[in-house]
Structure 1
Amino acid sequence: MSIWDSLTSCFWFSAENQRNTFASILAGVLFFTGWWFLIDAISVYGETTALQIILGIMGTASLIMVNSVSQAQINGDVAFNGGCLETRGARIWIFVGFVLGFAAIIAAVWTMIVRLNGSENKSSWPAISVLLQNVFIFLGSIVFKFGRSEESY
């Protein structure tokens, strides 16, 4: 019996949900790996700033914002009575989520450049880990948003 046969025999891994299952697992692994980079840098080097933590929280908030709006709400396919802005509000919400994710990546690049230029004797891994954290969280957000099929919802 191959590993594929053992995976497909699970009740949660039915044929119609394979795409959603793979996308969810991959997005979770990317999110976990992103936070693991920062946890590793903090535990090994002990150098942490509030900015490093805030950037990770910004990326996580971006993931939540982007994935809390369905594609049908953005397209206006369903009656969305979630406030005075309706479909426009859903589009603004996802736009702000993407802007927050890009802003976290840009700020991580900026902090990495400042750290790498400012110190000769310090390790560069804490600065690189913040950038990798935000890139992986953003990739996880993209995979979770666009990798799933929403027809069954």
Structure 2
Amino acid sequence: MSGFLDNCQCSRCDCIELGERRNAVAAVASGILFFTGWWLVIDAATMYQNQADFNHAYHTCGVIATLAFFMINSVSNGQIRGESYTTGCMGQTGARIWLFLGFLLGFGALIAASWILFGFYVVPPNPPPQWPGIAVFLQNALIFFSALVFKFGRTEDLWG
């Protein structure tokens, strides 16, 4: 039972092969996700300007997610593997710690956005309008997915 999928063959889709356009497509897709996340929360902030409906301190999650986006993508995969980074602040170990802290901030922002959505907009007996909570959650989810697409959707082979 341990190798029952070893002989399964999937046909390869040639329409997904991006070749030299892979980095451009990943960057555009990541940018669209990032832009959409911030657009949604700005829309909620303009529609619900009252602090009772949308506490503007909830923007903190989006700022932390944006910081995590930059932390995750500031180190290359070569630095993580130790191929192109041997000196500096702790070398390869420092790059790995930086990436780990970036992922921690990203997950923390997403968890905090979930807590804001359910704690303040879904569970209370007389909840305020739910769109601001949904917008905060979607913002953080889209920024996190944007960071993943930008980090793992590109290839360093095409940087030369």
Task: Classify the secondary structure of the residue corresponding to 2:157.
Answer: coil
The structure carrying a bigger helix percent of its residues is 1
**Separation in 2, partners of 1:80, 1:126:** 45
Displacement over 4 Å in runs of 4+: none
Residue 21 (structure 1) aligned with residue 27 (structure 2): no
Distance 1:119 1:65 in 2: 39
Deviation string, structure 1 residues 65-119 (Cα, Å, up to 9, x no partner): 0000000000011233121x11000000000000100000000001111112225
State the identity %. 42
Q: How does 1:2-151 map to 2 (within 5 A)?
A: 17-47=20-50, 48-83=54-89, 85-115=90-120, 116-118=122-124, 120=126, 122-151=128-157
Quick check: 109-118 or 69-78, which moved more?
Answer: 109-118
8 Å contact kept, 2:20–2:158: no
Where 1:151 maps in the other structure, the secondary structure is: helix
TM-score, with length taken from structure 1: 0.84
Give the distance between the partners of 1:121 and 1:73, measured in 2 at CA.
Answer: 47
Instruction: Tell me how large the CA RMSD over aligned residues is.
Output: 1.5
Task: Look up the SS of the partner of 1:152 in the other structure.
Answer: helix
**Whole-Å separation in 1 of the counterparts to 2:84 and 2:127:** 57
CA distance in 1, matches of 2:127, 2:117: 15
User: For 1:118, what is the secondary structure of its paired residue?
Assistant: coil
For the pair shown, the structure with the greater C-alpha radius of gyration is 2
TM-score normalized with structure 2 length: 0.81
1:26 is matched by which residue type in structure 2? A
Aligned residues: 138
Q: Secondary structure at the match of 1:80?
A: coil
